[in-house]
Structure 1
Amino acid sequence: MNSIQQQLLNSRIAKQAVNGLQLKDKQQILGRIATLLRTNCNAILTQNQLDLEQMDVADPKYDRLKLTAERIESLAQGVEDISKLEDPTDKLLSTKRLENGLLVEKRTVALGVVGVIYESRPNVTIDVAALCIQSGNVCLLRGGSDAWYTNSYLVGILQGVLSEYGTDPNIIQLLPTVRDLIGSLLEAVGYVDIIIPRGSQGLIDFVRQHAKVPVIETGAGVCHTYVEASADLDKAARIVANAKISRPSVCNALDTILVDENIDKPFIQQLIPHFAAAKVEVFATDRLYNIFHEAKYPYVQHAEESDFGREFLDLKCSIKEVSGLDDALSHIADHSSKHSECIVSQDSVKIAKFMRSVDAAAVYSNASTRFTDGGEFGLGAEIGISTQKLHARGPFALEKLVTEKWFVTGDGQIR
């Protein structure tokens, strides 16, 4: 394809179809999608394997691209969870009867046409589609070429279900991955109501710089865990290990450990068994490098300044000693992407100061940053984690796929 103009026109027409769906219709559609994800599991994995064969296993995006039977079941369960949530549209936010008799109401309405640009992760295809259907939005999906086979098959399932239930299949559309066409989406004023980039910082920066359509940023996560001097070191080691190891390729995984200089050696001694089992590569300041080296930890290197503020997306992280809470807060302020930040401490005063002071979408005390997720927060699923402050912040899910509209009812009033 050398143009997406027809797909843009189709999306405008499809808005009427999705607006006509009742909650029970949406629930039936989503239930059918969940069923077909399960029954077509092997076929989905076959298509996914075609994509995986074109990517280096060592590429950090490989794990994001990879589907398994367990992950497909999780997708199906997520779709069912979304179907059980309330329709976020037509909620009465305020009502007022003016002195002139006008009834002025403010209600929630769907955003309209949502364009999502993302890399590698075919789960985004299902999550976004389900959220848009339930919230009465049309979605234009622009996945990466590295996931083309998987995304094409998944969108085929989605459009098949929409047709089966007698509605417009163009409620969900997959755009071509031709790089030159991305500008057509970013400039589609009058067709697309919002653009959401989900992926690398480079992708997000490109979309923000070139889009004429409003943008909500999601994705890049440079996440810190600060181990404060009073921390339970066994608990701290388990939290840090989970945040780094459980799924290193996602945006809520830990990137930098900050440890109080008064406890750095005993903490590292607690951490090493966890990291050694997973072969985590550590980029350490000189002082901490010596502690790892003395413990004969084989996967340690001297840190460069560029290793702080870096999103690793792999079994790698940086570590730095700090002189106390204020020093940790200063480092986070300089290097955070404002995604998720954590303190491990037993000092309630310092915890409270950290939670108030850190500027991030999600702040944690004594828990892994891996919980920053729409499903984990009880939102069903998410389009992404918004790191900006307007409209949505944190897990960008169903309740934020709406805007406001004023309904004014009169009986002949004139001004």
Structure 2
Amino acid sequence: MTDGDTERKVEAAEKAALELANVDDADRNAALAAIADAIDEHREAVIAVNDEDVTTAEELLEAGEYTQALVDRLKVDDAKVDSIVEMVDSVAAMDDPLGETLEARHLDDDLDLYKVAVPIGVIGTVFESRPDALVQIAALALKSGNAVILKGGSEASHSNRELFEIIREAAQEVEAIPDGWVQLIEAREAVDTVLEMDDHIDLLMPRGSSDFVSYVQDNTQIPVLGHTEGVCHVFVDNEADLAEAVEVAYDAKVQYPAVCNAVETLLVHEDVAREFLPAVADRYAEAGVELRGDKRTREILADTGVDVLEATAEDWRTEYGDLILAIKVVDSLTAAIDHINANGSKHTESILTEDEKAARKFMTAIDAASVFHNASTRFADGYRYGLGAEVGISTGKIHARGPVGLAGLTTYKYYLEGDGHLVASYAGEDAVPFTHEDFEGPF
């Protein structure tokens, strides 16, 4: 793909975005329904091309170039297609995020100000090996009235191309949906072209390593909402229900280890470490989890028959995306908080405790997009939050944080309704005072 090809696609998306912003919710939902039906109908084709991607990925896994986590994220089977279709339907069922009056204020008689939700415009995305991410992003973009530029990883090229064509053709069944609202770019060089098109793209949402997100931020003037690693923690407090804690800590690592909201470091209060660690280590051993621990963890587990490697400083900052877990014994709640704030990625953290005061301290002191009490970190997900789906999980603080669903893909504009009002009337010695009274009502 040449630079000219990429530029034409971006410009087509920009043109479509202006039209899509004015397409009503019923037509957007009709297009989403058509997309869900088309993916369901073409599931055999999707799975077949995905098999090509997976076969290549498994060869590269054997060669040591890919990780097992990447291969796991890449696979699409019947169950995955079912979940993709369900996700698209769930996005369509969400309330319309556009046109909502966020604030309404009387400035004076017959002079009313409205703050109204509108699409962002053109969103550029770069995402990892999960083909279902392409569908999630496209569905959320369509529902929120945004045009979208999609760039997936080369490891999923066949899957992404097939799904893109299904989405593009299905949406065309609804006359109101403008051509060009969804675009696929595939060449790595195209990303650099996109980064330079700040006059045409309103927001970039890269999903990948911290290094990649930093590269995007350093090489563009387009606002960037980054999705980086998930170095997530579970802290088992000295007031935890230990039987419950074993189950939660197990779920957070084992239920699906290849995702960014899986726990990577388990912190255990020293008062309960000798009771808790052998119990949880046995559960992890059954699942084939490789454990890496600090000195106290290894001492406690030395006679249990569970192998524990020595954790390095790098382990405390690593997203494994695999059945690997770092464990550290800490002497206090404050020590756990300090460790997480120093080593975490601001994604998702959880405390397991029956002490409400300790839970509140943890939840307010931790700097992360999501902080949980007595729950697995795996709940950090747009679908589970009731957002329908997510474009990604933002570990930054502006303009959206945590799972980015429909609301994160909107901005707002101000509408002012007057009746020949003049600013001069509100200035000078005889200035008319503003009333500035908030009221409820749609624009």
Q: TM tier, shorter chain?
A: over 0.9
Q: Would you say the 8 A contact 1:117–1:141 is kept in 2?
A: yes
CA contact (8 A) 2:293 2:310 kept: yes
Q: 1:365, CA displacement in angstroms?
A: 1.0
Q: How far apart, CA to CA, are the structure 2 residues paired with 1:59 and 1:272?
A: 22
| Structure 1: gaps spanning 5 or more residues | none
Q: Equivalent of 1:169, from 159, 166, 179?
A: 179
Structure 2 Cα separation of the partners of residues 66 and 292 of structure 1: 36
Structure 1 residues 333-387: Cα deviation after superposition (integer angstroms, max 9, x where no partner): 1011111101111112111111111111111111100000010011100001111
Secondary structure of the 2:268 match is strand
Q: CA deviation at 1:93?
A: 1.6
Report if aligned partners of 1:55, 1:62 keep a CA contact under 8 Å in 2. Answer: yes
Distance 2:333 2:284 in 1: 25
Q: Distance in 2 between matches of 1:73 and 1:9?
A: 34
The 5 Å alignment of 1:368-383 reads 368-383=376-391
Equivalent position of 1:198 in the other structure = 207
Residue 21 (structure 1) shift: 1.9
Deviation string 1:302-361 (CA, Å, 9 cap, x unpaired) is: 110110021111111101010010110110110111111011111121111111111111
- Which of the residues 330, 347, 364 maps onto 1:356? 364
Larger Rg: 2
Contact 1:160 / 1:169 at 8 angstroms: preserved in 2?
no
Q: Deviations over 1:9-42 (max 9, x none)?
A: 1111111331232111111111121112222212
Cα drift, residue 181 of structure 1:
2.1
- The corresponding residue for 1:23 is 25
Q: Is the 8 A contact 2:233 2:263 kept in 1?
A: yes
> How far off is 1:59 after superposition?
3.3
Preserved CA contact (<8 Å) 1:342 1:366? yes
Checking the alignment, whether the CA contact within 8 Å between 1:81 and 1:380 is kept in structure 2 is yes
Task: Report whether the alignment pairs 1:94 with 2:103.
Answer: yes
Deviation at 1:130, TM superposition (A): 0.6
> Is the 1:100–1:413 Cα contact (8 Å) retained in structure 2?
no
Written as runs of structure 1 = structure 2, the 5 A alignment for 1:46-61 is 46-56=48-58, 57=61, 58-61=67-70
Mapped partners of 2:242, 2:18: distance in 1: 57
Secondary structure, aligned partner of 1:359: coil
The structural deviation recorded for 1:185 is 1.1
The CA distance in 1 between the partners of 2:94 and 2:137, in whole Å, is 15
User: What is the SS of the residue equivalent to 1:338?
Assistant: coil
Q: 2:377, 2:260 → 1: CA distance?
A: 10
- Give how far 1:228 is off: 0.7
Tell me the TM-score normalized by structure 2.
Answer: 0.90
2:39 maps to a residue whose letter is: L
CA offset at residue 78 of structure 1?
A: 0.9
Q: Return the offset for 1:101.
A: 4.5
Count of equivalent residues: 413
1:150: Cα distance to partner?
A: 0.4
Confirm or deny: 8 A CA contact 2:122 2:200 kept in the other structure.
yes
Identity of aligned residues (%): 34
Moved more, 143-152 or 228-237: 228-237
2:260 aligns with one of 243, 251, 255:
251
Indicate if the aligned counterparts of 1:222 and 1:255 stay in contact, CA closer than 8 A.
yes
Amino acid in the other structure paired with 2:230: G
Whether 1:118 and 2:153 are equivalent positions in the alignment is no
> 1:65 offset after TM fit, Å?
1.2
1:79-118 per-residue CA deviation (whole Å, 9 max, x = no partner) reads: 1111111111111122233337433221111000011111
Equivalent of 2:168, from 159, 164, 168? 159
Give every structure 1 segment of 4 or more consecutive aligned residues whose post-TM-superposition deviation is greater than 4 Å: none
1:338 is matched with 346
Listed as ranges, the gaps of 5+ residues in structure 2 are 62-66, 424-443
The amino acid across from 1:169 in the alignment is D
Q: For residues 35 and 73 of structure 2, what CA distance do their matches in structure 1 show?
A: 22
